[in-house]
Amino acid sequence: MLSKKNLLKKKGDIERVFKKGRGSKEDFLLLKAVRNSLSSSRFGIVVSQKVSKKAVLRNKIRRRLKEIIGAKIGKIKGGQDCLLIALPGLENKDFWEIEEIINKLFIKGNLWVQ
């Protein structure tokens, strides 16, 4: 699970990633990343009502994304603020498919530690 120190919560931080972050898209997931001045990476997850009108399903997607990122947090470079934006269609993917999408995104975004 993703710890609290690795979560983006403040509105200003999220807006900064939206405006200044470089983006990569893979399947039904969009990653925006920008450098921060901290030693650890922080993540925010956005699942809008365009994905599903049901809050239960949106929360399920959020939980899955947090679990996958939490398991991989040791391999991710420090000093990044990242935003994962779910796009319509992600609700039809299972856990393992989402994990593969995230792996591809992190490779594209150059977030893995070498």
Domain boundaries, the chain: 4-108
Can you give the pLDDT at residue 114? Answer: 63
Instruction: Name all contacts of 35-40 with Cβ < 8 Å and 24+ positions apart.
Output: 35/79, 35/80, 35/81, 36/79, 36/80, 36/81, 37/79, 38/78, 38/79, 39/78, 39/79, 40/5, 40/6, 40/78, 40/79
Q: 4 or 88: which carries more pLDDT confidence?
A: 88
pTM beyond 0.95: no
Question: Could you tell me which CATH number the domain at 4-108 has?
Answer: 3.30.230.10
Higher pLDDT, 114 or 20: 20
Whether the per-residue pLDDT at 95 is higher than 80: the answer is yes
Q: Is the pLDDT of residue 111 over 80?
A: yes
